[in-house]
Amino acid sequence: MSRAIQRVTIGPYTFEEVADHGFSQYEGRTMWRFTIAGKPNNHELYESVDRALVSAVGERYTGQRGAGGSGVGTAADWFMAMIGADGLVRAPEGTAAVAEAYEALGSTAGFPAPQVARHLVRNLERAGYVVAESAPPR
């Protein structure tokens, strides 16, 4: 039985981070679910709070997904694909991807930090990772 380890309510939406969800491919990781205006979403769990949030908004306005299978999705699925969220890849075991990219650089002695950072990003992107930047706090 899954258990909520974190719950946040914003307007008509409640998001829960779920542990012990029973999905072996996500063992050791938490997943997310949502409730809209007190009506639980018991039909899906999501890998990230981002996808749960977008799916909740999509479901509120377009209704619950009624079909599954290849090529069948929701407005939320389309939106996540359009902004490139589906291109993001979870990095393996902590900082392993960064360590691999750093090793590929060889010696960085004497190189300025911005140049080293660009090389790290380039090597991570070559390995198929998306390096995202966050906006500075306001």
- With a cut of 70, say whether residue 12 has pLDDT above it: yes
133 or 118, higher pLDDT: 118
Q: Which residues of 29-46 are buried (b: 16+ CB within 10 A; e: fewer)?
A: ebbbbbbbeeeebeebbb
Mean pLDDT (whole number) for 4-23: 90
Q: What is the pLDDT of residue 94?
A: 47
- pLDDT, one tens digit per residue, over 72-81 is 567 777 788 8
Q: Judge whether 59 and 36 are in contact, CB under 8 Å.
A: yes
Return the minimum-mean-pLDDT range out of 34-38, 77-81, 117-121.
Answer: 117-121
